[in-house]
Amino acid sequence: MSNITFDTAGHSGLRTTFFGKVMIFFALAVFSSAIGTYVTYHYFVGYFFTMPWLIYLVFAAELILVFTAHWWSTSHPLNRLLFVLFTFLTGVTFTPLLAVLAASPAGVGILAKALLSTGFMFSATALIGWTTKYDLSGLRGFLVMSLIGMIIVGILGIFIPWGNTFELLFSGFGVILFSGYTMYDFQRIKSYPEDRYIDAALKLYLDIFNLFLYILRLLMALNRR
């Protein structure tokens, strides 16, 4: 599908399609999170280790933004500002894990494999979701309930740590879950209202970010075996 179309109303230039807008903001999200990671890693990561409560503060800000996205995603220019802020903060919260990986002998290799695997997995599932003739809306119930279940188990894991075998199962299921979300969300792009491109881009960003995190956790668990 082309990302741009000629303006048939007689105006000169090109007009970005809805799909094009989604992809532009999706790319912006990835770039913004990378900037958040870079800035935090080089200038602020030490604060997260000396004051661990800071990470929970940033997490809380992320949760507020993501759960209120339906209200601010169509309020221009606030939507663009909060969209960039949210994706920047996800890069910030990823940085402590990156620092731990960078300090381990196999960390850089694991990170490179996770990035490469995420790229292939996301591209493949996105292509399936976009091109399939099968209606994926029936997956919604399974995806939502599975996500809620994983959130509950993840919270319990803070108080009741689990072993490496359970981590393999948990992270493996996370990879499957967000692969399913990627297919589902790519198909949904075709039915979004024209003013909801921020919503669509945010969902795709959450898909690839969580897919990357669970692939990374899976590779880390495999490396500990």
Surface-to-core class of residue 94, CB atoms within 10 Å of its CB (0-12 exposed, 13-18 middle, 19+ buried): buried
- 92-141: per-residue pLDDT in tens? 999 999 998 888 888 889 999 999 999 999 999 999 999 999 999 999 99
**In the prediction, which pLDDT does 9 show?**
42
Tell me the backbone φ, ψ of residue 91, rounded to 5 degrees. -65, -35
* Number of domains the chain contains: 1
Contacts for 49 with CB less than 8 Å, ≥ 6 apart = 96, 99
User: 5: pLDDT confidence band, cut at 50, 70 and 90?
Assistant: very low
10: left (phi over 0), alpha (psi -120 to 50) or beta: left
Q: Could you tell me what percent of the chain has a pLDDT over 70? A: 93
Across 32-56, average pLDDT: 91
- 25-39: per-residue pLDDT in tens? 999 999 999 999 999
Q: 164-188 and 107-131 are packed helices; what angle lies between their axes, rounded to 10 degrees? A: 40
Whole domain around residue 141: which residue ranges?
4-223
| Cα torsion through 222, 128, 150, 162, rounded to 10 | -10
User: 6: pLDDT confidence band, cut at 50, 70 and 90?
Assistant: very low
The identity of residue 198, as a single letter, is I
Rg (the chain; Cα; Å): 19
